[in-house]
Amino acid sequence: MWDLEISKIIVEEFTEKLKKSLDVDVAIVGGGPSALAASYVLSKNGFNVIIFEEKNEPGGGTWGGGMLFNELVVEEDVEWFLEELDMKYKKTKGFISIDSVHFASALLYNSTKVGTKIFNNVFVEDVLMSKERINGVVINWAPVIRQRLHVDPITVKAKYVIDGTGHPASVVNMVIDRNLSIDLPLGKIREFPMNAKEGEKFVLENTKEILPGLLVMGMAAVSVGGGPRMGPIFGGMLKSGIKIANIIIENIDV
């Protein structure tokens, strides 16, 4: 009976995938452009990488371009990365313009093709931590959280956790909310007004490990560092993801 076989395949294959994802090298929270760039580089280098994305569609702020004009802009110095991912784009006025749906799909396709496992509809609600370091995340189904169901989460162990949650820097905020006496090198998490040029520089400078085992990238790094937002220019997000991947590659063996 086809119907039963289909159900069995889905349940068995998903269970297998989840089991392999309970103890990983890198857990990325949020599936935006920085996460997809980081996961692509890490997976390509042999790391076991998972992304948890609370929405049905990973891709974060990429799909809608600027104000739903589904075109976005990157700087020319990331052309090599677009080429590596086999994207189609146009050079114009000293920038590169790309169809945002194509950009999002190419990032998703290439990241998953090299081995990243993306769990969509999964919300990261907490971190696992020992005295010394952050060593995993606590997850639940996003609809469970949205419906406020009283259902306990499960845990995932990771050598590194990356906050790729964008503007809210949710993971860093979870650590702060725990109110533990850990020494976070932070002020108040906030963003300053739009300034594309400064923002693109700032995101890269603030992409780093902020606690042992916890790294920030993308807009989360801007919020944590306290810098300007930059709107629909995405080169900095790609570079931030690539930078964080290289920090991890230099630090651990797989």
Interface with ligand 48F (CB under 6 A)? 29-35, 52-55, 60-62, 123-124, 164-166, 170, 218-220, 229-231, 233-234, 237
Residue 47 or 202: the one with the smaller Cβ distance to ligand 48F is 202
Binding residues for glycine: 229
Q: What is the dihedral of CA 184, 190, 192, 196, to 10 degrees?
A: 80
Tokens of 179: 């109110």
131 versus 148: smaller Cβ distance to ligand 48F: 148
Closer residue to ligand 48F in complex, CB, 29/211 = 29
d(CA 175, CA 164): 14
Question: Kind and range of the H or E element at 235?
Answer: helix 235-251
Q: Output the CA angle 232-33-49, nearest 5 degrees.
A: 170
In the complex, least distance from residue 150 CB atom to ligand 48F, rounded to whole angstroms: 19
- Listing DSSP states for 126-138 in one string gives EEEE-SS-EEEEE
Tell the smallest beta-carbon distance from residue 113 to ligand 48F (Å): 19
Q: Which residues are annotated as a binding site?
A: 34, 53-54, 61, 124, 150-152, 167, 170, 219, 229
For ligand 48F, the closer of residues 164 and 213 by Cβ is: 164
Distance in Å, CB of 131 to ligand 48F, minimum: 24
Q: Taking the complex as a whole, how short is the minimal distance between the CB of residue 33 and ligand 48F, in angstroms?
A: 5
Nearer to ligand 48F, 4 or 139 (CB): 139
User: Order of strands across the sheet with 71-75?
Assistant: 71-75, 95-99, 90-92
CB of 253 to ligand 48F, least distance (A): 27
Q: What are the structure tokens assigned to 185, written together?
A: 């090198």
**CA–CA separation, 184 vs 174, rounded Å?**
12
